[in-house]
Structure 1
Amino acid sequence: MIPSWLSWDVAVISFVFLVVILTFLFAKLIDRLLKAYFVLASKKMNIDETTYGLVRRIIVAIVYFSGFIVIIFSIPSLRDLSIALFAGAGFAGIVIGMAAQNTLSNIIAGIALATFRPFRVGDLLTIHEEYGRVTDITLGYTKIRTWDNRRLNIPNHIISDEAIINWSIDDPTVNWTVEVGISYDSDIDLARSIMISEAKKHPKVMSYEQLLNYHSYAKKGEEVSVLVTELGDFAVNLKLYVWVHDRSVAFNTGCELKEAIKKRFDAEGVEIPFPYRTIVYKKDLEESQHESVA
């Protein structure tokens, strides 16, 4: 017996081929036109790239889906099959939903991310202990370029369940810390004055006037401060707090401050101690006890 698909006439095959080509070309055309419109409109209005990108992808997906429907209903055997599946839509929906659970959850999560916008394209994030910039949000994945230029494609349903640190939204300023340990013999006040002095000289550290532009409640002295955070086993640990304009410059600023502080400590005699332990052997301890008794 000849398979049903072999009985299709040349006209049907040609029509299907034509629909596939036209659907592909039309989808690409729509995608390019929408991209061009966004570039043009963004020069005149403040358009959110995140929401726009999602809408653009939904429109392109509708074009592909429409072409698929046209092909289905142009082939009698597929049309009859689709009608039968539609009649049993309840069972088919369960089967399809279970088979495409991750895909559907990614799409739904992608729509939720674009709607509620916990982050936007261009924002700096820390997620999964990775720090980077959001480059795109698709229906399935969120794309992030990390600080070392790696590309992370994270499924949207995973992101929607994770705690995210957004360094860009609302207030981009960051209160960055630099930890330094000094010896117990060193002068704490001298070390503190050196750390504050080096911080205030750094061009990326915000001044009090600059901080007031973002935090009107800030008090004088809060822009740069040093606290003793721990009396450790071999060092007095100091923590320097500085404000920087955004997270993208915070790490490098911290590294440069550590270098500058180390050079000033060396020049002014503030010791940064090495870890050390005092080891007492049991034999020596017993001999010392005997000598003290004698």
Structure 2
Amino acid sequence: MASAQDAVRSVVERFLDSPVADWTAAILALVLGWYAGKLVVRLVGRSVARRFQRPSLTKTVLGGIRAGVMVLAVILAARALRFQASDILLSVTVFSAVLGLVLAPIVGSVINGLFVLADQPYEIGDMIEFVELDTRGYVEDITIRYTKVFTLENSFLVIPNASMRERDIVNYSAEDPRSRLSLEVLVTYEGDLEEARAILERAARETPGVIESGPDIRVGGARYPSAPVAYIKEFADHGVLLQLRYWVTEPYYMPRIRSKIQETVWDHLDDADVEIAYPHQHHVFDETSGVARVDVEGRRDRSSAPPEEFDGRD
């Protein structure tokens, strides 16, 4: 009986001293670290979300927690594989060299991603516009490396954060989703100007998605009327330029709302003393204009007629 126990003990000792045992322990540490990270994130996820109240920061913090648990698992795996301090130092040195030569752009994006998270120029779910690209979309995801935008053309833009910080971006959803838009209409001088302004304001109020009335909307230190208002912007060459300013409740359907307002204005013009102006040109000749020599199809050829018959009065 004792010899059997000694044999088992000998086999176990040889297994523990073999490289197979070291690799088994290392793999087990990594697997347990993976699942432990998921468990920790599940346990503290709600508390972190209530603490930061921003989806992007919440995802970043929870990702950092999982990464920290995995780092501990990697350290345990390294100890199981009996890495020495000199080996770890050499690995760090080699990794740093590779990081500096190959992964510098990624590190730059990570650093810029931290600035994006700190500056808060946009958040997940916001509608933004790239000015130079003339493209709008919704922020789908923000990581420390890139920002993912789902465009209105049903496509994805994945842009490194280093590039995002250098772009001109308009955020239509920041703080207050209400947005003020404008529409310019050129009407003739002969029409009823007050009626034209009334038509513009009524068309905006009748359009779904436009704020009809209410308290003034505050932007910074200024206050603007919430109801649609038509102003005289300019006495132009071909007519009076009117500008309609109105507020929309959400910035997601601005082209549709603008088109609907223009359709309503067009329908109301039939029964109104208002006309849309367009360029007109009048050529006036008087005694200071000289002599206009013209020819009419079917008349005699100018070369065969006396010069005095073609004095511009035919």
Please give the range of the TM-score, normalised by the shorter of the 2 chains. 0.7 to 0.9
Counterpart in 2 of 1:282?
none
Aligned to 2:141: 136
Task: Output the aligned Cα RMSD.
Answer: 3.6
**Structure-2 residue corresponding to 1:287:** 294
Identity of aligned residues (%): 23
Alignment-derived partner of residue 298 in structure 2 = none
* Structure 2 CA distance for partners of 1:221 and 1:205, relative to 1, 3 Å: closer
Task: Measure, in 1, the Cα distance between the counterparts of 2:251 and 2:226.
Answer: 21
**Cα separation, partners in 2 of 1:60 and 1:238, compared to 1, 3 Å:** same
Q: CA deviation at 1:76?
A: 4.5
CA distance in 1 between counterparts of 2:161 and 2:110 reads: 7
SS in 2 for 1:210: coil
Q: CA deviation at 1:11?
A: 0.8
Structure with higher RCO (Cα < 8 A, 6+ apart):
1
- Mapped contact 2:212–2:227 kept (Cα < 8 A): no
Q: Residue 257 of structure 1: CA displacement? A: 0.7
Deviation at 1:222, TM superposition (A): 7.4
The alpha-carbon deviation at position 286 of structure 1 amounts to 5.0
Q: What displacement does 1:268 show?
A: 2.8
Q: 1:98 aligns with which of 101, 104, 119?
A: 101
**Cα separation, partners in 2 of 1:262 and 1:209, compared to 1, 3 Å:** same
Letter in 2 for 1:130: T
Question: Which of residues 107, 113, 118 in structure 1 aligns to 2:116?
Answer: 113
Matched, 1:83 2:93: no
**Which residue number in structure 1 is paired with residue 6 of structure 2?**
none
Do the aligned partners of 1:126 and 1:132 also contact (CA within 8 Å) in 2?
yes
How has the CA–CA distance of structure 1 residues 163 and 230 changed in structure 2, closer, same or farther, with 3 Å as cutoff?
Answer: farther
Query: Offset of 1:221 from its aligned partner?
Result: 9.0
Give the Cα separation in 2 of the matches to 1:219 and 1:83.
63
Higher radius of gyration, 1 or 2:
2
C-alpha contact (below 8 Å) 1:224/1:243 kept by paired residues: no
Opposite residue 56 of structure 2, the aligned amino acid is: T
Gap runs ≥5 in structure 1: 1-7, 279-284
Per the TM alignment, residue 207 of structure 1 is displaced from its structure 2 partner at its CA by 4.3
Q: TM-score, normalization: structure 1?
A: 0.74
Residue in structure 2 matched with residue 259 of structure 1 by the alignment? 263
Residue in 1 that maps onto 2:248: 244
Distance 1:92 1:18, change over 3 A: closer
The alpha-carbon distance between structure 1 residues 140 and 85, as it changes in their structure 2 partners (threshold 3 A), is same
State the aligned residue count.
273
Quote the Cα distance in structure 2 between the aligned partners of 1:267 and 1:46. Answer: 57
1:71-102 CA-to-partner distances (Å, cap 9, x unmatched) read 3443356865432244xx4x863542231112
Partner of 1:24: 34
Give secondary structure in 1 for the equivalent of 2:29.
helix
- Which residue in 2 is equivalent to 1:281? none
- 208-217 vs 50-59, which deviates more? 208-217
Counterparts in 2 of 1:149 and 1:169: CA distance versus 1, 3 Å: same
- Residues 69 and 129 of structure 1, relative CA distance in 2, 3 Å threshold: farther
1:287 maps to a residue whose letter is V
Offset, 1:55: 0.9
Q: Could you report, residue by residue, the CA deviation over 1:230-288 in whole angstroms, capped at 9, with x for unpaired residues?
A: 736x775533211223323433322211111111123436444678899xxxxxx7526
* Correspondence 1:12 to 2:10: no
Q: Which amino acid aligns with 1:10?
A: V
TM-score of the superposed pair, with normalisation by structure 2: 0.70
Report the counterpart of residue 74 of structure 1 in structure 2.
80
Aligned-partner SS, 2:205:
helix
> 1:179 offset after TM fit, Å?
3.0
Equivalent position to 1:153, from 158, 174, 178: 158
Q: Which amino acid aligns with 1:27?
A: G
Q: Match for 1:75: what amino acid? A: L
Shift of 1:185: 5.6
Q: Secondary structure at the match of 2:141?
A: strand
Relative to total residues, which structure has the larger helix share, 1 or 2?
A: 1
Check the 8 A contact 2:228/2:244 in 1, yes or no.
no
Q: CA deviation at 1:214?
A: 6.4
SS of the aligned residue for 1:225 comes to: strand
Contact 2:27/2:77 (<8 A) preserved? no
How far apart are the structure 2 equivalents of 1:170 and 1:249?
A: 18
Secondary structure of 2:270 counterpart? helix
Name the residue aligned to 1:198.
203
Given that 1:27 and 1:64 are in contact with CA atoms closer than 8 Å, whether structure 2 keeps it comes out as yes
